[in-house]
Amino acid sequence: MAGAPRVQRLRAAAEDLTWTVADVGHRAVTAAGAAAHVDAVRAVRPSNRRRTERARAAADEILAANAEALGGAPWAAGRLIPTDGDVAVLEAGPVGGGSQALIKVAATGAAGVGMAAQQRVLDALHADNRLGEMRRLVPGVLAGGSYRGLTYLIEARLPGERLDAVLPDQATRTCALQSALDALSALHAGTSIDGIADATVRAGLVGEPIAVLAGAVGPLPALDRVALRLTTAFDDVDVALGRTHGDYWHGNILCTPGGHVTGIVDWEYSRADDVTALDVMNFLVTLRMRERREEYGTVVVNMLTDESWSDGEEELLERSAGPRVDREVGVANVALATWLRHVTDMLERRPDFGTHRLWMRRNVHAVLGTVG
Ligand SMILES: Nc1ncnc2c1ncn2[C@@H]1O[C@H](COP(=O)(O)OP(=O)(O)O)[C@@H](O)[C@H]1O
Ligand SMILES: [Mg+2]
């Protein structure tokens, strides 16, 4: 009897976790990297205050349902952490005992699929002895699954603040960026083999994402040009194949105030046997986005025409594990492959981006138009 209103309440919570159409513009900008500003604007919106309350109520119910896995003491959800996706992230911990974990609740079916994937990845990483000590940077799963139709994940909280918080300080910046690349290299070096971009690898790098993009933009001739260019460039090239993070950018990396990495979060796009160079390129593209306040597509368009690295970028590339694929196939081609993966991952998990004209124009069509 008591179950029915509760289910209704949770359904309402799930609906309310979803961004409204009016928010899509904000989301597109956030995804483009201007997150701090947008979050400040978002926090004062009344509809978001209501959504926060709904998200907290849903999280509290899920925490109560998992009391046993969480040690028996009653837990409560705390502060809502701003995100750029269809997932509500809240601090959580024993009542009166501070924040020990993060509870993530998916607001859409696609976000739920991503969250279930993330749980499998986190479990696989912790079970992978090749990673040794590096695993202390990976969140442990305290609980996860589906509760009355809502997919959720409760992760142990890793210490530290977002890496971008320390980047403005020039003294800390170099250490922070190098530490981020070292952590990524530990992931790659521990899990990768010297491989070749054979037909199977090229299918994952080119054929499959091109098919996803065709689903979003239709059968444009530019897609054939991108596919031909990447297939030719990567044809049987030496590449390291291993575990990738899939969304390695400063917003998913935590560090100490001195710039030493303490955690890597948000593993939903991680793959087991992928071209590890894509993670390194994604890190550098998103760093340029932050510095130049440009969108992903704009940075990649520039890389397609000017393949030079700054001294700082070159230094970071030298720290990365595996062969320098950018030297073998050219910076532009690695950037193009990384972009293709990025936009198609986004379109798969957040289908509404496909209908956001500004996002599509700047991040998809701008790049397609540059590939001659
Ligand atoms: N396990 C964790 N420990 C500490 N902070 C976390 C953890 N998981 C997420 N966060 C914080 O919450 C933010 C959003 O979580 P994330 O999983 O990256 O969501 P999104 O998919 O929206 O980017 C992260 O940028 C990070 O600051
Ligand atoms: Mg994230």
Q: How confident is the model at residue 12 (pLDDT cuts 50, 70, 90)?
A: low
Return the pLDDT at 320: 92
pTM for the model stands at 0.89
pLDDT over 90 at 371, yes or no:
yes
- What is the distance, to the nearest Å, from the Cα of residue 243 to the centroid of all Cα atoms in its chain? 15
Q: What is the dihedral of CA 209, 210, 216, 219, to 10 degrees?
A: -170
Rounded Cα distance between 338 and 308, Å, is: 17
CB 263 within 8 A of CB 137: yes
Q: How confident is the model at residue 222 (pLDDT cuts 50, 70, 90)?
A: very high
pLDDT tens sequence across 107-150: 888 889 999 999 999 999 999 999 999 999 999 999 999 998 89
- Locate the ligand 1 atom nearest the alpha carbon of residue 104 and give its number: 17
Return the pLDDT at 226: 98
Ligand 1 center–CA 102 separation, angstroms: 8
pLDDT tens sequence across 327-365: 999 999 999 999 999 999 999 988 888 999 999 999 999
Whole-angstrom CA distances from 240 to 33, 112, 195, 209 are 28, 30, 5, 20
What's the DSSP call for residue 68? T
**What lines the ligand 1 site, CB under 6 Å?**
81, 83-85, 87, 89, 102, 139, 155, 157-158, 162, 251-252, 254, 263, 265-266
| DSSP output for 14-25 | HHHHSPPGGGHH
Tokens 């690695």 found at = 334
Query: Ligand 1, residues 118, 266, 342, 345: which to mutate, most atoms within 8 A of Cβ?
Result: 266
Nearest partner of 12 among 61, 55, 60, judged by Cα: 55
Residue 342's SS3 state is helix
The closest ligand to the CA of 140 turns out to be 1
Rounded Cα distance between 285 and 211, Å, is: 23
What rounded mean pLDDT belongs to the chain? 89
Protein residue with its CA nearest to atom 8 in ligand 1:
265
Rounded Cα distance between 251 and 249, Å, is: 6
CB 244 within 8 A of CB 271: yes
pLDDT tens sequence across 34-91: 443 333 333 334 456 676 777 788 999 999 999 999 998 999 999 988 877 788 999 9
pLDDT tens sequence across 287-313: 999 999 999 999 999 999 999 999 999
Query: Ligand 1, residues 265, 267, 345: which to mutate, most atoms within 8 A of Cβ?
Result: 265
Domains along the sequence of the chain with CATH: 3-156 (3.30.200), 161-370 (3.90.1200)
pLDDT over 60 at 25, yes or no:
no
